[in-house]
């Protein structure tokens, strides 16, 4: 059962929301109700003051992700939801590694490995040193493997953040949302729009 | 930038206006009631308790304007509010205290959420300073109710109350309606602030209750309908929620397409309408189920393809192209692949569609429905409505009731066999006449919902039809009837079993009747204890008179009818079977 069905893949869900207590739970239960594991979740400010941005990563089929995105967007305090494959986004994760300073200091090889992996020292103490690196999952994973033989004490990785390649940001959309009678620009629905060619006479 | 800039303004300017107008400081409790009055609320279903005492104290001065119905249990309160909302088309309002008062609302919230019923529930909460301390009667009701509310919010400061309640009513009633819960801490109820009046909400920037209708989809739908040889309309409660009964009827009549209903949609088109071909789903009519799998174009209007309607999904209407009209875009394509999505309020989309469809009769196609109808009458309906056996059937009670009410009554059903019989056979002439727990299947719904329905439509006859199981779940609401004097006719169809489960055990579990044999009290004596008149009938000869006595009674009346113990509801689409595999016996 190791082989995953081919149509499941990682999707990056981006949600623009109001900054409201309880909304995280409202969004989280959309996944847990369907027994879908959230691989990564990040909430942060967006390019617009007062608007929050959720980055959520799940591994599912396109159909499931589309329905989930619809359910999230249906929540009253959610303005807009997008979902993209990894190819459609620029994404990064950050990782911290704590290793004993004496080992690092003694072995020239470690220094070279750290350099090769783009790691940067954040804190250097007599007893331990903390390195930081940013990149894709394989890159941060790789450094764990590299440092394991040298007494890796602690490791932590952040949630994923992602920028959508062909997005023009949310400013223009938000201005439309604030109007009482939004134009068709805002009332569009990506899913429905994409279906225009489904039926032809 | 605030969430709701247009609404924030009056509050902000109030501070400036105060000096000139000398607004008297108002408590959060009074502001709450003022909000209800501005929203046009006339009835509140509730039950007081420690954490909501300030609101009840304020209510004492508003008791002439806001009619408060004291229920016997908060679940009864919320079901009553659901009944009120469904019979009146307005938002139902519930008051409950914190802790157990609030948790007792959960079943009703889940019911209202799945059946799209507009409610605003206001719960008291412990002082904000005590939140998270396991204070007396403290419960995290916001997180408990998040999955079963359209929106919820905790108020900890009185100044939030006008804006939050305005949002609550707007969200509850707009778009696809649903329940909203507002939790107000006791300090916010007591706190005085400069209340500058209440402005109803018209817009929330993050919320789009309905879209602008896209004409190209309407055009595609019309083109598909016009070329169809065997088109079939299936409709649900969305038609009524959109107030589009007339638009729907016009569409059906011009297109000449046979139309069948889901259980919550039944009363949108009169039962006797020639194009009304009956009920869909597990215990629906024979023709509508079988012909779902023979039609070429399936036009779904304000319904959501529930599993009880579709049966086995991978064998559901595979031959048909599906047009789906719905206000909620997440319903379109959720369960069945949709050829043409018509996203919008059917009050707007139906007239557009009607204008483009050709006038047709579809005579030969409609004949199929008549043929199936004849088979079903012979195999099932005749025996159910006009039995020759000695014992009474549920169906004949409904048949007699139809003859006496003429189809003008509001019928409020519970859940189980009697519900299927009542929905299958009740004659409806008017919209907002069928009130039942559809999606959630909540036993105990009917008695309190009937009370609420009567308050929502005081001029109409309200008949609650309940099984002997369901009535015992909320029978305490007889106390509410006693105290308010509300006029509700109660029919208990007593088959001395939890009948629907017994039917499944008979058909699918080798008659292993596991805990479905339920004893009843003497309902007539129980009613008498509440000063409600009543009688029990077990002979056919007495049924008609008993029903007449019930309907003529000046006030509530309880009629217990002893019916056949082991009757089964047919037709039936067994679970896991396709709609075409519907069984007549």
Q: What are the C-alpha distances in Å from B284 to residues A176, B115, B240, B249, B421?
A: 45, 19, 20, 21, 10
Asked if A74's CB is within 8 angstroms of B328's CB, the reply is: yes
pLDDT digits (tens, 9 = 90+) for A80-138: 999 999 999 999 999 999 999 988 888 778 888 888 888 999 999 999 999 999 999 99
Which residue does chain A place closest to B222, by CA atoms? A201
Burial of B148 (0-12, 13-18, 19+ CB in 10 A): buried
With CA atoms as reference, report the closest residue to B82 among B448, B472, B416: B448
> For chain A, what is the radius of gyration of the CA atoms?
21
Domain harbouring B285, CATH code:
3.40.50.1220
Mutation site for A-interface testing, chosen from B166, B205, B332, B345 by largest number of A Cβ within 10 Å: B205
**Cβ atoms B190, B28 nearer than 8 A:** yes
> By CA distance, what is A199's nearest residue in B?
B339
- The residue of A28, A30, A76, A195 whose CB has the most chain B CBs within 10 angstroms, and thus the best one to mutate to test that interface, is A76
| pLDDT exceeds cutoff 60 at B488 | yes
pLDDT confidence band for B527 (50 / 70 / 90): very high
Instruction: Say which of B1, B212, B340 has its CB closest to residue A50.
Output: B1
Sign of the four-CA dihedral B270, B272, B274, B280: positive
In a domain, B585, yes or no: no
| Residue in chain B lying closest to A16 (CA) | B206
Cβ contact (<8 Å) for B214 and A199?
A: no
Give the chain A residue nearest B217 (alpha carbons): A196
Residue B248 counted as domain residue: yes
Mean pLDDT of B443-463: 98
B575 assigned to some structural domain: no
Residue B240 lies in a domain: yes
**Domain match, B17 and B151 both:** yes
Average pLDDT along chain A: 87
**Structural domain of residue B105, as residue ranges?**
5-194
Tokens of A104: 């690092």
* B206: nearest CA partner in chain A: A79
Which residue among A50, A79, A192 places its CB closest to the CB of B343?
A192
Cα separation, B237 vs B311, whole angstroms: 19
pLDDT at B82: 98
Burial of B253 (0-12, 13-18, 19+ CB in 10 A): middle
Shared domain check, B237 and B155:
no
As annotated, the active-site residues of B are 74, 136-137, 186, 500
- Does the distance separating the beta carbons of A177 and B205 come in below 8 Å? yes
Mean pLDDT over B187-213 rounds to: 94
Confidence of residue B119 (pLDDT cuts 50, 70, 90): very high
Mean pLDDT value of segment B377-403: 97
Q: Which residues of A touch B341 (CB under 8 A)?
A: 192, 195
Q: Do B422 and B510 share a domain, yes or no?
A: yes
Scanning every residue of chain A, which has its alpha carbon at the shortest distance from the alpha carbon of B335? A67
Chain B CB contacts of A201 under 8 Å are 223, 227
To which H or E segment does residue B102 belong?
helix B100-103
Average pLDDT over residues B65-88: 98
Residue B485 falls within a domain, yes or no? yes
Q: How far is B322 from chain A (nearest CA, A)?
A: 10
Is the model's pLDDT at B17 over the cut of 50?
Answer: no
- The Cα B450–Cα B453 span in angstroms is 5
Domain finish residue from B363, B382, B401? B363
Q: Each residue of A20-66: pLDDT tens digit?
A: 999 999 999 999 999 999 999 999 999 999 999 999 999 999 999 99
* B141-167 pLDDT, tens digit each: 999 999 999 999 999 999 999 999 999
Closest partner residue to A76 among B206, B212, B328, by Cβ? B206
Category of B502 on φ-ψ map: left (φ > 0), alpha (ψ -120 to 50) or beta: alpha
B150 contacts A76? CB cut-off 8 A: yes
Nearest-10 crossing angle of helices B346-356, B215-227: 50
B135 in a structural domain: yes
- How far off is chain A from B151, nearest CA to CA, in Å? 7
Distance from CA of A43 to the nearest CA of B (A): 17
Q: Degrees (nearest 5) of the Cα angle B228, B231, B232?
A: 165
CB contact (8 A) between residue A70 and residue B330 = yes
* Interstrand relation of A51-60 and A9-18 (parallel, antiparallel or unpaired): antiparallel
Smallest Cα distance from A184 to chain B, Å: 7
Could you tell me the strand order of the sheet in which B321-326 lies?
B276-279, B259-261, B231-235, B297-301, B321-326, B340-343
Same domain, B537 and B425: yes
* Contacts B8 to A, Cβ<8 Å: none
pLDDT in tens, B259-276: 999 999 999 999 999 999
B509 and B434, same domain (yes or no)? yes
Contact A42, A159 (CB under 8 A): yes
Residue B13 has pLDDT above 50, yes or no: no
Closest Cβ–Cβ partner in A78, A79, A192 for B341: A192
**Domains in chain A, ordered, with CATH?**
9-89+165-188 (3.30.70.260), 91-157 (3.30.70.1150)
Which residue from A76, A189, A196 is facing B207, i.e. has the nearest CB? A76
Q: Does B413 have pLDDT greater than 50?
A: yes
DSSP label at B260?
E
CA distance B85 to chain A (A): 21
Residue B180, H or E segment: strand B179-185
Q: Are residues B324 and B447 in the same domain?
A: no
Nearest-Cα residue of chain B relative to residue A200: B220
| pLDDT band at residue A6 using 50, 70 and 90 as cut-offs | low
**Statement: residue A178 has pLDDT above 70:** yes
What length does chain A have? 201
B73: domain CATH number? 3.40.50.970
Cβ contact B205–A17 (<8 Å): no
pLDDT at A4 over 80: no
Q: Are A18 and B202 inside 8 Å of each other by CB?
A: no
Q: How confident is the model at residue B212 (pLDDT cuts 50, 70, 90)?
A: confident
Partners of residue A194 in chain B, C-beta under 8 Å: none
- In this structure, are B180 and B283 located in the same domain? no
Between β-strands B434-435 and B321-326, what pairing exists: parallel, antiparallel or unpaired? Answer: unpaired
CA distance A161 to A46: 11
- Whether A201 sits inside 8 A of B212 (CB atoms) is no
Mean pLDDT of B113-131: 98
* Helices and strands (H, E) in chain A, number of each type: 8, 9
Chain B interface, Cβ < 8 Å to A: 1-3, 5-6, 142-143, 146-147, 150-154, 171, 202-208, 211-212, 214, 216-217, 220, 223-224, 227, 321, 328-330, 332-334, 338-341, 343
Q: B146 with B287, same domain?
A: no
Q: Which residues of A touch B204 (CB under 8 A)?
A: 76
Min Cα–Cα distance to chain A from B465, Å: 34
Which of the given ranges, A2-11, B18-27, B273-282, has the highest pLDDT on average? B273-282
Give the distance from residue A156's alpha carbon to the nearest chain B alpha carbon, in angstroms.
30
Secondary structure (3-state) at A99: strand
Residues B223, B266 within the same domain: yes
Report pLDDT for B12: 40
Tell whether B533 is covered by a domain: yes
What mean pLDDT value characterizes chain B?
A: 95
**B411 and B510 co-located in one domain:** yes
Q: Which of A20, A29, A187 minimises the CB distance to B208?
A: A187
Q: Are residues B180 and B225 in the same domain?
A: no
Q: CA B503, B508, B509 angle in degrees (round to 5)?
A: 95
Amino acid B363: pLDDT: 97
The answer to whether the CB of B46 falls within 8 A of the CB of B70 is yes
| Number of domains forming the structure of chain B | 3
Residues B462 and B537 in one domain: yes
Phi, psi of A68 (to 5 degrees): -60, -45
Decide if B262 is inside a domain: yes
Query: What's the average model confidence in pLDDT over B163-178?
Result: 98
**B239 touches B356 (CB < 8 A):** no
pLDDT tens digit sequence for A132-174: 999 999 999 999 998 999 899 999 999 999 999 988 888 888 8
Q: Do B329 and A22 touch (CB under 8 A)?
A: no
Average pLDDT of span B310-323: 97
Q: How far apart are CA A91 and CA A139, in angstroms?
A: 12
What ipTM does this complex have? 0.92
């Amino acid at each position: 059962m190791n082989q995953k069905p081919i149509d499941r893949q990682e999707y990056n869900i981006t949600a623009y929301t109001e900054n409201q207590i309880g909304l995280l739970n409202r969004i989280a239960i959309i996944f847990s109700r369907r027994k879908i594991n959230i691989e990564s979740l990040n909430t942060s400010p967006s390019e617009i003051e007062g608007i929050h941005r959720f980055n959520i990563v799940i591994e599912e089929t396109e159909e499931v992700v589309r329905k989930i995105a619809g359910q999230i967007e249906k929540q009253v305090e959610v303005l807009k939801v997008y979902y993209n494959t990894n190819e459609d986004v620029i994404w990064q994760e950050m990782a911290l590694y704590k290793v004993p300073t004496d080992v690092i200091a003694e072995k020239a090889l470690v220094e070279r490995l750290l350099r090769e992996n783009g790691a940067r020292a954040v804190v250097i103490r007599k007893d331990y040193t903390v390195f930081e690196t940013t990149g894709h999952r394989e890159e941060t994973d790789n450094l764990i493997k590299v440092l394991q033989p040298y007494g890796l004490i602690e490791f932590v990785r952040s949630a994923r953040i992602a920028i959508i390649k062909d997005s023009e940001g949310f400013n223009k959309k938000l201005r439309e949302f604030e109007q009482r009678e939004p134009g068709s620009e805002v009332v569009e629905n990506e899913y429905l729009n994409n279906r225009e060619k489904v039926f032809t006479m | 930038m605030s969430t709701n800039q247009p609404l924030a303004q009056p509050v902000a300017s109030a501070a400036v206006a105060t000096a000139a107008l000398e607004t008297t400081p108002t408590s959060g409790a009074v502001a709450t009631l003022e909000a209800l009055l501005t929203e046009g609320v006339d009835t509140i279903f509730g039950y007081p308790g420690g954490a909501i005492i300030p609101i009840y104290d304020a209510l004492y001065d508003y008791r002439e304007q806001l009619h408060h119905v004291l229920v016997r249990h908060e679940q009864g309160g919320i079901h009553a509010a659901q009944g009120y909302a469904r019979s009146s088309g307005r938002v139902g309002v519930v008051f409950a205290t914190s802790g157990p008062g609030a948790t007792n609302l959960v079943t009703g919230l889940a019911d209202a959420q799945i059946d799209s019923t507009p409610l605003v529930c206001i719960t008291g909460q412990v002082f904000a300073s005590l939140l998270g301390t396991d204070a007396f009667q403290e419960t995290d009701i916001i997180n408990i109710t998040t999955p079963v509310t359209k929106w919820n919010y905790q108020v900890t400061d009185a100044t939030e109350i006008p804006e939050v309640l305005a949002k609550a009513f707007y969200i509850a009633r707009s778009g696809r309606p649903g329940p909203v819960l507002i939790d107000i801490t006791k300090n916010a109820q007591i706190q005085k602030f400069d209340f500058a009046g209440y402005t109803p909400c018209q817009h929330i920037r993050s919320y789009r209750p309905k879209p602008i209708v896209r004409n190209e989809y309407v055009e595609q739908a019309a083109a598909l309908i016009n070329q169809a040889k065997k088109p079939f309309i299936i409709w649900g409660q969305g038609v009524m929620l959109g107030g589009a009964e007339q638009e729907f009827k016009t569409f059906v009549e011009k297109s000449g397409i046979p139309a069948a209903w889901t259980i919550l949609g039944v009363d949108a088109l009169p039962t006797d309408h020639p194009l009304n071909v009956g009920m869909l789903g597990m215990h629906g009519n024979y023709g509508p189920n079988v012909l779902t799998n023979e039609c070429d174009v399936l036009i779904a209007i304000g319904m959501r393809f529930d599993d009880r309607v579709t049966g086995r999904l991978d064998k559901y209407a595979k031959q048909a192209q599906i047009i789906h009209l719905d206000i909620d875009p997440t319903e379109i394509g959720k369960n069945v692949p949709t050829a043409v999505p018509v996203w919008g309020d059917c009050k707007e989309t139906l007239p557009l569609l009607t204008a483009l469809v050709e006038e047709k009769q579809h005579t030969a196609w409609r004949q199929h429905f008549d043929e199936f109808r004849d088979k079903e009458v012979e195999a099932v309906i005749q025996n159910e409505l006009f039995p020759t056996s000695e014992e009474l059937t549920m169906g004949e009670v409904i048949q007699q009731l139809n003859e006496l009410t003429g189809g003008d009554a509001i019928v409020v059903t519970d859940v189980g066999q009697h519900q299927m019989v009542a929905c299958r056979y009740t004659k409806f002439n008017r919209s907002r006449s069928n009130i039942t727990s559809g999606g959630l299947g909540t036993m105990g719904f009917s008695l309190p919902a009937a009370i609420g329905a009567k308050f929502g439509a005081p001029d109409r006859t309200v008949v609650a039809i309940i099984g002997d199981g369901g009535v015992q779940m909320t029978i305490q609401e007889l106390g509410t009837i006693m105290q308010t004097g509300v006029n509700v006719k109660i029919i208990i169809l007593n088959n001395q079993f939890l009948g629907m489960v017994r039917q499944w055990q008979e058909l699918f579990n080798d008659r292993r009747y596991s805990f479905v044999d339920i004893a009843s009290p003497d309902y007539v004596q129980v009613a008498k204890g509440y000063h409600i008149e009543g009688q029990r009938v077990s002979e056919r000869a007495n049924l008609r008179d008993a029903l007449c006595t019930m309907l003529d009674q000046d006030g509530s009346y309880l009629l217990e009818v002893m019916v056949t113990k082991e009757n089964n509801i047919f037709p039936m689409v067994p679970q896991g079977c396709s709609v075409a595999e519907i069984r007549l016996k």
